[in-house]
């Protein structure tokens, strides 16, 4: 008899943000697989749950995933949890869910808190359509390239970011997406020192340059305006040339024209090269 993999949502920070069903499932399963057992132990101890606990994270997901699948095939019931929110969303649980689905194992979801949805709800920005990008690349060049790909995206954008990279990320967003694009930066959502900064990207950058951030961060960024001028490479090249003559550094001129057309900067760069004698 096959077992069942339960995907259990857990609190983002406030231990009261857990459902009655989640607590029941955590008590009834044979095993709980957690991203960080020390973190999950606090939740279990708070509610007097003594279910055996094992680790499942990015550094052991290969062998541990195989072991968990064997237990599921033997009929065991396993709860998968992450440090905060829903497992399988921008965390190693995604791989276990994929493997379980391919193996034909029953998978049940026990919905709970989500940092993405919480940040969107409190952002004050449009929530009708959004795009979740998780963490941007750590390398600045790769990060800017990804942002250039998103520069013309009209849906609201949601990102996770680490506090030590936030200022650099905001610098890149200001350059690629524009200074006045609206942003809501949620810090330590649902926790005692929860804060939400609603500002322009430029204002957010200035704020966090003065007050270095701490804790977990979620960025909700306004989408691009819906109407863009028709892209004509020759005209784009002339705009770049005009901005450079006005004193803009070439990199800034390319970025401004890319924002104007809603195109990747490398495309504007290629247009400017093609126009050179």
Going from N- to C-terminal start, the domains of the chain cover 4-113, 116-221, 233-274
Is 260's pLDDT higher than 80?
Answer: yes
CATH class of 4-113: alpha beta
- pLDDT, tens digit, for every residue of 20-63? 999 999 999 999 999 999 999 999 999 999 999 999 998 898 89
Q: How do residues 200-240 score in pLDDT, each as one tens digit?
A: 999 999 999 999 998 889 999 999 987 677 778 888 889 89
Span 116-221: which CATH code?
Answer: 3.30.950.10
Tell how strand 77-81 and strand 31-34 pair up.
Answer: parallel
User: What is the reported pLDDT for 73?
Assistant: 94
122: confidence class by pLDDT, cuts 50, 70, 90: very high
- Average the pLDDT over 1-16 and give the result: 92
Mean pLDDT score across all residues of the chain:
93
- The arrangement of strands across the sheet holding 53-55 comes to 53-55, 31-34, 77-81, 4-8, 106-110
The predicted structure's pLDDT at residue 275 = 65
DSSP single-letter state for residue 15: T
- Could you tell me which residue, 244 or 221, shows the higher pLDDT? 221
The pTM of the full predicted model, rounded to 2 decimals, is 0.78
């Amino acid at each position: 008899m096959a077992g069942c993999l339960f995907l259990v949502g857990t609190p983002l920070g406030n231990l009261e943000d857990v459902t009655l069903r989640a607590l029941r499932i955590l008590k009834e399963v044979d095993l709980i697989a957690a991203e960080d057992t020390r973190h999950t132990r606090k939740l279990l101890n708070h509610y007097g749950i003594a279910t055996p606990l094992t680790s499942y994270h990015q550094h052991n997901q290969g062998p541990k995933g195989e072991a968990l699948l064997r237990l599921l095939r033997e009929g065991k019931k396993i709860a998968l949890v992450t440090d905060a929110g829903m497992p399988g969303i921008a965390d190693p649980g995604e791989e276990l869910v994929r493997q379980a689905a391919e193996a034909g194992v029953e998978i049940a979801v026990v919905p709970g808190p989500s940092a993405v949805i919480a940040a969107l709800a409190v952002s004050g920005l449009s929530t009708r359509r959004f795009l979740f990008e998780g963490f941007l690349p750590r390398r600045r060049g790769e990060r800017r390239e990804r942002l250039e790909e998103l520069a013309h995206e009209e849906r609201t954008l949601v990102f996770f970011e680490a506090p030590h990279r936030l200022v650099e990320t905001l610098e890149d967003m200001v350059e690629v997406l524009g200074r006045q694009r609206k942003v809501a930066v949620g810090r330590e959502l649902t926790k005692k020192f929860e804060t939400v900064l609603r500002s322009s990207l430029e204002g957010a950058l200035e704020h966090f340059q003065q007050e270095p951030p701490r804790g977990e961060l979620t960025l909700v960024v306004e989408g691009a305006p819906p109407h863009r001028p028709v892209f004509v490479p020759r005209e784009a090249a002339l705009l770049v040339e005009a901005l450079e003559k006005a004193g803009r550094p070439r990199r800034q001129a390319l970025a401004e024209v890319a924002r104007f057309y809603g195109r990747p900067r490398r495309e504007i760069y290629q247009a400017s090269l093609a126009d050179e004698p």
